[in-house]
Amino acid sequence: MRSLTLFVCLLLLALFAKAQGSGGAEQKHLIYFTDKNNSPYSVAQPALYLSAKAIERRSKQGIALSVRDLPVNSSYVSGLKATGAKVLYTSRWFNAAVVQCSPEKLAELQTLAFIKGTQQLNRLPTSASGKKGTQSNDSLKLEKASFDASYFGPSFHQSNMLGIPELHAAGYQGEGMTIAVFDAGFPGVNSISAFSHLFQNGQLKGTYDFVGNKKDVYGHSQHGTSVLSTMAAYEPGRIVGTSPKADYYLFRTEDAATEHNIEEVNWLLAAEFADSAGVDVINSSLGYTLFDAPSYSYTYSELNGNTTIITRAADLAAATGMLVVTSAGNEGNKAWRYISAPADADSVLTVGAVDSLSVHALFSSVGPTADQRLKPDVVAMGQQVYVLSSSGNLGRSSGTSFSGPIMAGMVACIWQARPKLTNMELLELMRQLGSNYNNPNNTIGYGIPTYARLVTGLADELADGISITNPVLEEPIVLRMDETWQQENALARLYDASGKLVHTQMLFANQAVHTLSIRPSRLKKGIYLCQVSSNSRNVTLRFVRL
């Protein structure tokens, strides 16, 4: 009888284990270390673990290095490997390692003196489950489209809404800036003609697939390809992205087929890589709330800026001087409604979506965060946006997945134009440039930022001893010159946003004030450049004709 009872108990335990989906199978865990003691690295020698560009970014923004920046203790990693556990990655910021092991091996690891705690990252499903992320299906649909247009082609309106044509005409197309794109795959990017300049000009700085643990990212979901096209594509007359001359890193962090907490850790690892490589802007068109059963899903109360793995990672990324631009989510017309993680982070620029008429897109997730902070921060066009598919076809697609990168490209160009700003100053500037800045809300945040607001906000722009009237209504356009400019004759050339020369005028020596002879009524509304040249000097000023 005792033997029968023991048999039944063992059988019940086996059935319970099977029902829990464990069955002794290897799963992924985040293993936290106790400290970084006895590290061979130090904050005094950052070049051993950070690139020169990463160090420069911190230096420019006055960000001091800390223990958090140091790599994990290598002896602890060796200790994990000595047990037979498979170590996949390590995290500097979380002082942890991603380990794949069986439940029995996990129990063994938890007894090690240098282990502080563990967190499960994926589980075997008890039943068939589909992807439940906040990336709605409408963001993946493509419609055929083809018609003629100038320079920007069909993508003109989504860029023009932010003043991108004027921004590019002013010489800011992202040169010198580096953007890292986190997504679910980039098929076709290495063969589509609109991306060929990235390879020819050396603008593609690196790739890595954190899901598959390999460098090749040119497979899997075409979502990343479409996202990248809104920023980096360059095929005049067909599609031009908002930041075509920036440098790029492409990271696959998202497994489009499933949804587990491991993808948040993939995001963390990519952000650390981006930091060490000297990236300026992270674009993330990813958001997390619900996960495939039985993995742990978040509640709205946990979107408080401090709880989810990915939100904590995003704030740590911001702490290094990078600006994280993240999509708000596509849950606005669904039961969840609210933004997703990491859009709840307090140090990221969260981007919602509007349609072509600048009206809030119904699918665009709304705020506030669980701790009642206003979100999204800003909005851009995200409904019926022109993007490229993995085959290179031009089509239209909808989602904050696209308003986010459109904005990220603009951010890179603005930062190029204002290089002395810190990432947090730039984030605040983007809010100030918004159409809804004086009356922000939890639907469109501070509104649609435009480059014209940046130029208008400068009043009479001053550069190298000379200023010009700004903005211009009907009053004369006046140039004021300091004594050094008055010592010789100069020539003023006025260009519109397309680069067309609209006025030329001599500026004679010994005059402090010059009134341009062109009537403002002859100028169309928009941004203009005034180039003033003498034998020894050359300066370009901007103004807006309202």
Report the distance separating Cα 155 and Cα 405, nearest Å.
13
Q: What three-state secondary structure class fits 362?
A: coil
Count of beta carbons in the 10 Å neighbourhood of residue 475: 10
Q: Where are the alpha helices (DSSP H) in 136-281?
A: 156-160, 164-169, 196-200, 223-232, 262-277
* Cα–Cα distances in angstroms (integers) from residue 185 to residues 225, 329, 431, in the given order: 7, 19, 30
Choosing from 401, 403, 435, 467, which is the catalytic residue? 401
Sheet architecture: strand order including 143-144: 143-144, 394-397, 385-388
**CB-CB contact of 391 with 225 (8 Å):** no
Choosing from 29, 220, 223, 360, which is the catalytic residue? 223
Choosing from 155, 168, 183, 276, which is the catalytic residue? 183
Burial class of residue 111 in the structure, from the number of CB atoms within 10 Å of its CB (0-12 exposed, 13-18 middle, 19+ buried): exposed
183 labelled catalytic: yes
Cβ-based neighbours of 351, under 8 Å, separated by 6 or more? 325, 326, 327, 328, 376, 377, 378, 379, 380, 400, 403, 404, 407, 408
Q: Which residues of 141-166 are buried (b: 16+ CB within 10 A; e: fewer)?
A: ebeeeeeeeeebbbbbebbebbbbbb
Q: 376: cis peptide before it, omega within 30°?
A: yes
Tokens, residue 522: 């002859």
Report the distance separating Cα 40 and Cα 25, nearest Å.
35
Q: What is the DSSP string of 509-546?
A: TT-SEEE-SS-GGGSPSEEEEEEEE-SS-EEEEEEEE-
Cβ-based neighbours of 302, under 8 Å, separated by 6 or more? 308, 370
Classify strands 349-354 and 378-381 as parallel, antiparallel or unpaired.
Answer: parallel
Cβ-based neighbours of 12, under 8 Å, separated by 6 or more? none
Classify strands 143-144 and 378-381 as parallel, antiparallel or unpaired.
Answer: unpaired
Cite the active site residues.
183, 223, 401
